[in-house]
Structure 1
Amino acid sequence: MEAATIETASPATFTIGDVVRHRMFPFRGVIFDVDPVFNNTEEWWNAIPEGVRPRKDQPFYHLLAENDESAYVAYVSQQNLLLDADGEPVQHPAVQQMFSGFEDGRYKLRPEIRN
């Protein structure tokens, strides 16, 4: 069954270095990793209220995220993200460690980070 889920997964809309914003919650961030389908714990999944729980068969993104109060790492489904139109850099403290520059609203991954 797992293989069928992967085959029917949606293609990734965003890529590493994109600055995105959550559709419902007031935070934004830069993508630093992408899972083609949900790849977190069932405990994490079940903690999301059923009425807003996203499908598992879509890309999920790891973000260096920020809001008005803090910086943190977020794990967000593709259906809940939009490209951030502000064009402003993300102020997360780990951005400088992972990315080398910010041009045209996107970050460039440091060469030593690429696998």
Structure 2
Amino acid sequence: MMKASSAKFAIGQVVRHRVFGFRGLIFDVDPEFDNTEEWWLAIPEDIRPHKEQPFYHLFAENAETEYIAYVSEQNLVPDHSGDPLRNPLIGEMFTRDPNGAYRAKPIIAH
């Protein structure tokens, strides 16, 4: 039986990719891999993460562009730079408080 893992990072936390250096804001967490086998196999085998760990959905950005990323916990580190993120999707779900932290907006049911 697999031991349930708990996420090391939280929704609203800014992180950086350990290998590729891009930054992102976590907006969702899967307790373990929940993407396609094709996606997983497209990762080079020598750096392919194991599936039995949390995977994070990020509003990500690098020097050139903004995008959505799906990243294993083993490939993330906290980003303590305090620099704001520019991904335009962030404003739909988060606000940035005076201390620079990102807070999820309240969800209003219709």
CA contact (8 A) 1:66 1:91 kept: yes
| Alpha-carbon distance in structure 1 between the residues aligned to 2:13 and 2:24 | 8
> Any stretches of 5+ residues in structure 1 without a counterpart?
none
Q: Secondary structure at the match of 1:76?
A: strand
Unaligned runs of 5+ in 2: none
Q: Which residue of 2 aligns with 1:8?
A: 3
**Contact 1:89–1:102 under 8 Å retained in 2:** no
Distance (whole Å) between structure 1 residues aligned to residue 99 and residue 56 of structure 2: 21
Residue 42 of structure 1 pairs with residue 42 of structure 2: no
Secondary structure of the residue aligned to 2:106 is: coil
Aligned pairs for 1:1-115 (under 5 A) are 4=1, 7-102=2-97, 104-112=99-107
* TM-score (ref. length: structure 1): 0.88
- What whole-Å deviation, never above 9, does each CA across 1:32-53 have from its counterpart, x for those lacking one? 0000000000000000011000
Aligned residues with identical type, % of pairs: 58
SS of 1:88 mapped into structure 2 = coil
1:104, distance to aligned residue in structure 2 (A): 4.2
Indicate conservation of the 8 Å contact 1:19/1:105, yes or no: no
TM-score (norm 2): 0.91
Name the amino acid aligned to 1:89.
P
Deviation at 1:80, TM superposition (A): 0.2
Distance in 1 (alpha carbons) for counterparts of 2:99 and 2:35: 31
Q: Which contiguous aligned blocks of 4+ residues in structure 1 show a shift greater than 4 angstroms?
A: none
Q: CA–CA distance in 1 between the matches of 2:101 and 2:57?
A: 15
More helix by share: 1
Pairwise CA RMSD: 1.7
- Distance change (3 Å), C-alpha of 1:25 and 1:86: same
